[in-house]
Amino acid sequence: MSRSYDVVVVGTGAMGSAVVYQLAKAGARVLGIDRFAPPHVHGSSHGDSRITRLAVGEGAHYVPLAVRSHALWREIEALTGDELLTVTGGGVISVPGGRGQHGAGDFLATTIAAARAHGIAHELLAGDALAERFAPFALRGDERGVFEPSAGFVRPERAVAAQLRLAREHGAELRTGERVMSAGQHRVVTDAGTYRAETIVLAAGPWLTELRPELAPAFAVTRQVLHWFALAPGTYEAHRDLPVFIWITGAGPERFFYGFPAIDGPDGGLKVASEQFQATTTPAACRREVTAEQSRQMHARLLAGRLPGLQTRTVKATTCLYTSTPDSSFAIGAHPGDAGLLIVSACSGHGFKHSPAIGEAVAQLALTGESAIDLQPFSLDRHL
């Protein structure tokens, strides 16, 4: 079997589903291929919720993507009737000396600077005002913070499914359960056939370097763990009314955690997670099970003494995979040896909130050679 398309998209998770949808909406002959059936739990686009914020602590150059993504979430909701984006407000809290998260020297300061530069509503908090805003938290008293009313969370599985559904409605062909063996030079070879295209978009996340091993020095895949800790009796209402939050506890890329309000009822727990970048893995080698001891260790290391309303046991826990560059930025652009191959990776642990806008921009790039939002700050060349 051999067929031709304008664009073939390899991987239809967060980025790939957005690219396929936007290409199909633009009238392109597009094929999306995935070895699984998205939304699924094998990659990086699951876990019930993802934080979204317009004042982006990773850098002000991300803000146009975040703003456009919020508009696209609302557009997709109107077209499908699905509830994707929930605005809860969001806070970033940091202790003195808290630095080095997601490539930002001072994540809190960068968040505030991005809000000011782009006119995003925000409120600086400290002392009693911070404690009042985050009532269930046990603060030391020397923390500072910023609150953004427009922040919230997106439901990732719903978002991927909605965009793939819209892509089909616009004529996209989607092939799932099909493993890609090679991609490049206007040809994608799978275990079921060969497909030709003017442009190939490789949005394979943690499988990226399996398909293009020469890119491996630019990317690292790490196993991350998401925990839903049980709530102590009588604390549900307080945790239900929380905003999304990022709490920086010290210096270093792993000295922080983030969380969500209790969005799934009194028995649903509170989702909290941290990040680790020391131990790398692969999709095949990743340990998918999460032990109770791992959750207890995370609670003891970061939550005990800070979130007193959480018990040490979890309601559930799962893993996801990050594909990250050394400076935690994105890598988007043409392969240096193949102008017809566009790489759309890595999310570096903070990309889901930007995926609709990236999908739109990459679709424009594939079809016209340029995009409305400048993707140059995320050039693949920066990492090679």
Q: Name the pairing type of β-strands 338-344 and 332-335.
A: antiparallel
Contacts 24+ apart (CB under 8 A), 284-287: 286/223, 286/319, 286/321, 287/223, 287/319
* CA dihedral of 208, 373, 77, 84, whole degrees rounded to 10: 50
Sign of the Cα torsion 40, 43, 48, 50 reads negative
Model pLDDT for residues 364-378, shown as the tens digit of each residue: 999 999 999 999 999
**What secondary structure, in 3-state letters, does 314-325 show?**
EEEEEEEEEEEC
Backbone angles phi, psi at 33, to 5 degrees: -125, 140
Cα(309)–Cα(229) distance, integer angstroms? 10
Structural domains in the chain, CATH included, are 2-47+156-216+327-383 (3.50.50.60), 87-153+220-324 (3.30.9.10)
- From first to last of its 384 residues, what are the pLDDT tens digits of the chain? 579 999 999 999 999 999 999 999 999 999 999 999 999 999 999 999 999 999 999 999 999 999 999 999 999 999 999 999 999 999 999 999 999 899 899 999 999 999 999 999 999 999 999 999 999 999 999 999 999 999 999 999 999 999 999 999 999 999 999 999 999 999 999 999 999 999 999 999 999 999 999 999 999 999 999 999 999 999 999 999 999 999 999 999 899 999 999 999 999 999 999 999 999 999 999 999 999 999 999 999 999 999 999 999 999 999 999 999 999 999 999 999 999 999 998 789 999 999 999 999 999 999 999 999 999 999 999 888
Reduced to 3 DSSP states, what percent helix, strand and coil does the chain have, rounded to the nearest 5? Answer: 30, 30, 40
Radius of gyration of the chain from its Cα atoms, rounded to whole angstroms: 20
Q: Which two tokens stand for residue 38?
A: 């998205």
The chain-wide mean pLDDT, for the chain, equals 97
